[in-house]
Amino acid sequence: MSDRRPYIAGNWKMHKTGREAEDFLWALLPQISGEDHAEVVICAPFTALVNLIDGSRGSRVKVAAQNMHQAEAGAFTGEVSAGMLSELDVRAVVLGHSERRQYFNETDAALAEKLPAALAAGIEPIFCVGETEAEREAGQMQDVLRRQVTEGLAGVPAGQLPAIVVAYEPVWAIGTGKVATTEQAQEAIAFIRELIAGIDAAAAPQVRILYGGSVKPDNAAELLSQPDIDGALIGGASLDPGDFAALVAAGDAA
């Protein structure tokens, strides 16, 4: 782990009502009230955001949304804008998650607009990239990452790359129980950092890059020990306050 501050983000996906989010916080906050080394982020459904924001004020928890539209306003039924999230005090947003790409046809072109829109509203983008199992087996991992990183970051203003958090999530390891080996995760994330250096050499050492894909308390420390892995984007294990607290502890120790 470098001197980049560790970043532990739980992605709840379509889980937890507002009341369940409050219950989660009551259980979590006493367990993470000590060392404050890692940043702690909860990425929640839209309906739970206000509950989490109100319940986490004064704590180390930062609340993130799981998606947003790139336009400031318009005829986009079912969508929310960066300004709407900012008004709620949402401080980060997941963009380009593989499930958004796969099920909702989110494109690299759309992400090239969403990232600067989030930054302009003062919201930290958590920008997700990663290859499918078929792409990895076909030897296309680097080609996929090159396209996603370069096209997705194309609209980011000069000098603002360090404000973005990148999450490498090999699609074949999400919710499957499969985990990239430590070597596979480090190799891919180091390659992503090289790609960022090709855009802005000065920014690359500052950008935090996370690993996401079946991260659990028993494998987090090894992953976080790698030189280019700055944290984790956590799915299933983030739904249990005890497991998530253990992952925060791994980030604090990194």
Distance CA 251, CA 254 (A): 5
pLDDT at residue 74, rounded to an integer: 98
More confident residue, 128 or 178: 128
| 8 A C-beta contact, residue 113 and residue 155 | yes
| 8 A C-beta contact, residue 153 and residue 115 | yes
Q: What is the CA radius of gyration of the chain?
A: 17
How many beta carbons lie within 10 A of that of residue 26, not counting itself?
A: 11
Segment 162-180 shows an average pLDDT of 84
How many beta carbons lie within 10 A of that of residue 74, not counting itself?
A: 10
Q: Which of 39, 69, 97, 106 is catalytic?
A: 97
Q: What is the pLDDT of residues 11-44, one digit of tens each?
A: 999 999 999 999 999 999 999 998 789 999 999 9
pLDDT at residue 142, rounded to an integer: 97
pLDDT at residue 117, rounded to an integer: 98
| 8 A C-beta contact, residue 94 and residue 62 | no
pLDDT at residue 39, rounded to an integer: 97
Going by C-alpha positions, the residue among 7, 222, 3 that lies closest to residue 94 is 7
15 is catalytic: no
| 8 A C-beta contact, residue 229 and residue 210 | yes
194, pLDDT greater than 80: yes
Going by C-alpha positions, the residue among 144, 69, 128 that lies closest to residue 96 is 128
Measured between its terminal Cα atoms, the distance across the chain in Å is: 6
pLDDT at residue 1, rounded to an integer: 45
Cα atoms found within 13 Å of the Cα of residue 105, Cβ hemisphere only: 0
pLDDT at residue 157, rounded to an integer: 87
**Strand 39-43 relative to strand 208-212, pairing:** unpaired
52, pLDDT greater than 90: yes
91, pLDDT greater than 90: yes
175, pLDDT greater than 70: no
Task: Return contacts of 134-139, CB within 8 angstroms, 24+ apart.
Answer: 136/170, 136/172
Place of tokens 């020990």: 225
Q: What angle do CA 232, 233, 234 make, to 5 degrees?
A: 100
Who contacts 194 (Cβ-Cβ below 8 Å, separation ≥6)? 204
Band of the pLDDT at 219, cuts 50, 70, 90?
Answer: very high
The DSSP annotation for 118-168 comes to HHHTT-EEEEEE---HHHHHTT-HHHHHHHHHHHHTTTSPTT-GGGPEEEE
| Structure tokens that stand for 202 in this block | 């000065």
Average pLDDT value over all residues in the chain: 95
113 is catalytic: no
| Structure tokens that stand for 173 in this block | 């390891």
Q: Which of 106, 124, 131, 169 is catalytic?
A: 169
Which class does domain 7-253 fall in? alpha beta
